[in-house]
Amino acid sequence: MIFHKNEVVLHFKCKHTVKKVDRFLLKSFIGPLILTFFIVLIILLLQFLWMYVDELAGKGLDLMTVTELLYHFALTFVPTALPLGILLASLMTFGNMGEFSELSALKSSGISLQRIMRPLVILISFVAIISFFFSNNVLPYSTDKARTLLWDIRRKKPDINVQAGTFYNGVPDFSIKITTKDPVTNRMYNLIIYDHRERRGNYSVILADSGYMKSTKDETGLIMTLFNGHGYTEMEEKNVSPSLRKYPSRIDDFKEQTIVIPLTGFDLQRSEEGLFKSNAAMLNISQLTFTIDSLYRKHNEKIDKEFKDFKNVKLYTVRNPHVQGSKPIEQTASPENTKKQIKFDTKKLYDSLTIGEKSEVLTRAVESLKEGTSIIFEKNESTRYEIRAIRRFEVEWNKKLTLSFACIVFFLIGAPLGAIIRKGGLGTPAVISIFFFVIYYVISITGQKLVEDDVVGTFAGMWAASYILLPIGIFLTYKATTDSVILNIETYLIFFKKIGEKIYRIFINGSGKNNSTD
């Protein structure tokens, strides 16, 4: 094949121009992607803080502990934030290009929308692969660290903060109430302290005019210094009948008294790593595969054992009423014996029994029915629990793939949608992104719930959001390629305007005919 010199030069220029377009698209996309990713990540962290603020507040956590907790939870939110960030970034990028007529200029130069999207598709595919490796390797570790630290924080008791007017029970074995508290000196007035250390109820109470409370330097004890008060203690009477009790008591007056109370649980005690290692979210793909296979094998062995046990169940036939002194025949529940039992004429046998025997047979039948129903119910619940456990591991196995694939699905929705609506910025793209993400989230949660309840298959439930939204992305790509006005508001206004005009003409013509007839 022979190329003309001008054709070769033109081909080189076009190829060079396309490379410039690719670099331009990558630069235009990566910036919004990083921005939107961190915005979504911060929103998810704020949602986490909103959910657990009651468990974190008042614990006296230092900055390093809070930072570590937020860091590990931020890593757990990365697979969720990344698809939404891609959706929002693709909408912004192609919306800006459509708003400033850059897409129109590229299309007019002979570059199709699919060719424009190609470098970003390659980039998103690479991001999806990284997201999978992140979910498989980093996510289990960060989830384990985050949940372990949150568990330790939950076990930590809140700092001592006695409020005026209410009883404070945060100090072990003590109940404290104060009337007022000086915010500058932290001096408390009119203290009432109930001592429950001997577990005998309100046997000891201290009333003090004022006092201070402070922790020791190592925070292992609480020092209470009380001024101008009285202590009332009921003495314990041993081996005395209730009618002869005299209820002796002791009253102690003091000008200053110091009480040292040991504190336990007020410091953050860190648990060892691997506290939740058996949880499905802490395992990678290979570990999940091994665990699922082991659970299925144990479940099948249990089912086989139950069927074998059923074959060894003993059946008792009703004695032959025509033979005196005959006893019930003991047989095993083999298929042949079961068929033989069915051939009995139960009504004839029952009618031949005496009234006492009938009553005994009915009582045994009811008891056997209740016992059998109870056994079946227990085995059914046990089997359901085992299947739910298997489904939870299968859900986590599929999650590592669906979240990565969601990056591609959301890009195929966001890029053509941005080219159609031709609106950049964070306004319209954010609303549309939230709309599609809510749809994806609702379908995913519903599918996951159905899978865990063993209503639908694992693949059908966990991949439902992907195979529902993927055709929408392909359809939007086709509409954007053909310059469709599917989301142009003016198109719908013109359409409804034409319908209104037709209805108006029909109404006018109809009223005119009625007038002429009259």
Collect all residues with Cβ–Cβ distance below 8 Å to 100 and sequence separation of at least 6: 424
Q: For residue 58, is it left (φ>0), alpha (ψ between -120 and 50) or beta?
A: left
Spatial separation of the C-alpha atoms in residues 510 and 518, rounded to whole Å: 13
Q: Answer for the pair 298, 385: CB distance below 8 angstroms, yes or no.
A: no
Q: How many CB atoms lie within 10 A of CB 258?
A: 11
The tokens for 128 are 């999806």
As a residue count, the chain comes to 518
Spatial separation of the C-alpha atoms in residues 289 and 308, rounded to whole Å: 29
Report helix, strand or coil for 208.
strand
- The pLDDT profile of the chain, 518 residues, written as one tens digit per residue, is 443 444 433 343 455 567 787 888 888 888 889 998 998 899 889 988 888 877 777 666 778 888 888 898 899 999 889 998 898 888 888 888 877 777 778 777 777 788 888 888 899 999 999 999 998 888 888 888 888 888 877 767 655 667 788 887 777 778 888 888 887 888 889 988 888 877 777 778 989 999 988 877 766 777 888 999 888 888 777 766 666 667 777 888 888 888 887 776 555 566 666 566 677 788 888 888 888 888 888 888 877 776 666 555 554 444 444 444 444 444 444 555 544 444 556 677 767 777 877 788 788 888 888 887 887 788 778 788 888 888 888 888 998 899 899 999 999 888 888 888 777 666 777 788 888 888 888 898 898 888 888 888 888 888 998 889 889 888 888 888 776 655 555 565 666 677 777 776 776 665 555 554 44
Q: Answer for the pair 422, 491: CB distance below 8 angstroms, yes or no.
A: no
Q: Which residue has the tokens 């002429």?
A: 516
Q: Answer for the pair 123, 450: CB distance below 8 angstroms, yes or no.
A: no
For 405-417, b/e burial (b = at least 16 CB within 10 A) is bbbbbbbbbbbbb
Residue type, 211: G
Q: Answer for the pair 314, 323: CB distance below 8 angstroms, yes or no.
A: no
If we measure between CA atoms, which residue out of 13, 193, 117, 40 comes closest to residue 481? 117
Q: How far is CA 280 from CA 191, 288, 290, 458, 464, in A?
A: 51, 7, 12, 15, 21
Residue type, 473: G
Q: Which residue has the tokens 């009553």?
A: 359
